[in-house]
Structure 1
Amino acid sequence: MAEILYLGHASVRIRGREGIVVLDPCDQSVGFDIGKPTAQVVTISHNKADHNNVEVVKPLRDTLFVADGPGEYEVSNILIRGIRTAHTDGEGKKHGHNTIYVMYIDDVAFCHLGDLGHGLTASQLDEIGSVDVLFVPVGNGNHVIKPDGMVEIISEIAPKVVVPLYNDNQQQRLEALDLEPLSVFVHQMGIKEYETLDKAVFTPSTLPREDEETKIVILNPSGVAV
């Protein structure tokens, strides 16, 4: 059983029986204080303060492994694969590079797209592989891909569950961070009504079946406004 807590911005905590992972811990510039989450593993999509605030994460049993780029990692039976992409162009010449992470926790495949700002190549899609739960950023095309482009990427990856990040709320500084309101993404996905949850729990048996539509799960940020 893997429990998902949305800390705020692009920060997510996944807690399973095999360990705890914090993805893209952010600093307070985004309008959130995510506290001091405990973890064994931290993943960093790119080296900016709203995605690489490792210092805020408290090591579990005095051990903290940081994955900060492409490659294969294994920590406490958690398998992680980092896939290199870019922010806004395929070669990363304009705004540098980004790392997508795929990880396997409690027999569930999670994928965090980081600050993806462009479409994916066939090779990158092959590296990502089969995904159960996909964490997607909602941007406006400057540094993070627009909602309509993200909808296309979702259809290519074909996850069972999608969890949007950068959700709009009174704490999130949308204009300064080049973000779109969540409502734009929801509209692009064809959703008319939705509810938000404080946390989500996923197991192989509770995930949608292969023949079912992708499920959208929208989480409330747990971070405290600053």
Structure 2
Amino acid sequence: MVSRTSPRIVPAAFLPAALAPDQARVTYIGHSTFLIESPRQVRVATDYNDYVKPTVVPDIATMNRAHSTHYTLSPDPGIRHVLHGWRDDGKPAGHDVSYQDVHVRSIATNIRDWAGGTARHGNSIFVIEVGTLCIAHLGHLHHTLTPQQVSEIGRVDVVLVPVDGSYTLDLDGMVEVLQALKAPLMIPMHYFSRYTLDRFLERVKADYEIELAETPTVVLSKTTLPAKPKFLVLPGR
């Protein structure tokens, strides 16, 4: 299941703190929260919440409202851009924000509500452009993507993908989404135990290479992306 060859992705621990113009630093904080850092030191925190958060205040915080581990109603006042993945009027969030060398936009998806129905546009896939990379955070995705949504997302280099297989999309559906997006690198998130992570990896190991990283942080660029699509498992902090 785990690649034994030399990794194409270089752990950040062996690199200097400064990033080259084509690089991005990605740190898995835990659950669905990542800290993404740009060459100009802009920080983006995904699914920013009150429980699992980075040790630094981000410049941009994205959120989704599936439950309280994906958002907060009391974000740190130092955050420049707080991007909710939903709107109270049920319309798409429609974010399109640029700050220094980072661009963040959102693509709306539906979400199951607590009554068993569907909340239209209740979740957002956030696409973060940083360095030369395009990173998609799928949020709390509950359904496969339409051709229009795939087109709106566009070409992505890295997908941050929920792999629990129950609270979000089922395993076969999530694999279908990943096949549609065709990203070279996928990083699992939103798993509640080693069992749920291993269940997903068992599902995909026949078709994808899998690498288990030793540190939660990785520095990425176009030149370090794998030649064949692979999963990189980052340990949460």
TM-score, length basis structure 1: 0.79
Match among 120, 128, 133 for residue 108 of structure 1: 133
Deviation at 1:58, TM superposition (A): 7.2
Task: Please give the alpha-carbon distance, in whole angstroms, between the structure 2 residues aligned to 1:148 and 1:158.
Answer: 15
Closer/same/farther in 2, CA of residues 64 and 197 from structure 1, 3 Å limit? farther
Match among 13, 22, 34 for residue 53 of structure 2: 34
Task: Please give the alpha-carbon distance, in whole angstroms, between the structure 1 residues aligned to 2:200 and 2:136.
Answer: 18
Closer/same/farther in 2, CA of residues 155 and 193 from structure 1, 3 Å limit? closer
Deviation at 1:26, TM superposition (A): 3.1
Q: For 1:20-71, what per-residue CA distance to the aligned partner results, in whole angstroms no more than 9, with x for missing partners? A: 100002333xxxx435432111111336321113746573xxx521121323
Contact 2:210/2:233, CA 8 A, preserved across alignment: no
Contact 2:164/2:197, CA 8 A, preserved across alignment: no
Task: Please give the alpha-carbon distance, in whole angstroms, between the structure 2 residues aligned to 1:181 and 1:100.
Answer: 22
**CA RMSD after TM alignment:** 2.5
Closer/same/farther in 2, CA of residues 14 and 54 from structure 1, 3 Å limit? farther
Task: Please give the alpha-carbon distance, in whole angstroms, between the structure 1 residues aligned to 2:172 and 2:225.
Answer: 25
Task: Please give the alpha-carbon distance, in whole angstroms, between the structure 2 residues aligned to 1:140 and 1:195.
Answer: 20
Give the aligned residue type for 2:67: K
Q: Which residue of 1 aligns with 2:222?
A: 204
Closer/same/farther in 2, CA of residues 99 and 193 from structure 1, 3 Å limit? closer
Contact 1:35/1:56, CA 8 A, preserved across alignment: no
Deviation at 1:206, TM superposition (A): 1.1
SS of the residue 2:67 aligns to: coil
SS of the residue 1:99 aligns to: strand
> For 1:112-123, what aligned pairs fall within 5 Å after superposition?
112-123=137-148
Q: Which residue of 2 aligns with 1:175?
A: none
> For 1:47-196, what aligned pairs fall within 5 Å after superposition?
48-53=67-72, 55=74, 57=76, 59=78, 63-68=79-84, 69-88=93-112, 93-94=117-118, 97-141=122-166, 143-169=167-193, 181-190=196-205, 194-196=211-213
Q: Which residue of 2 aligns with 1:17?
A: 39
Find out whether 1:4 has 2:26 as its counterpart.
Answer: yes
Unmatched 5+ residue regions in structure 2? 1-22, 85-92
Task: Please give the alpha-carbon distance, in whole angstroms, between the structure 1 residues aligned to 2:99 and 2:193.
Answer: 34
SS of the residue 1:25 aligns to: coil
Q: For 1:92-118, what per-residue CA distance to the aligned partner results, in whole angstroms no more than 9, with x for missing partners? A: 943561000111001110000000010
Task: Please give the alpha-carbon distance, in whole angstroms, between the structure 2 residues aligned to 1:195 and 1:47.
Answer: 28
Task: Please give the alpha-carbon distance, in whole angstroms, between the structure 1 residues aligned to 2:176 and 2:144.
Answer: 8
Closer/same/farther in 2, CA of residues 58 and 217 from structure 1, 3 Å limit? farther
Task: Please give the alpha-carbon distance, in whole angstroms, between the structure 2 residues aligned to 1:37 and 1:55.
Answer: 16
How many residue pairs get aligned? The number is 200
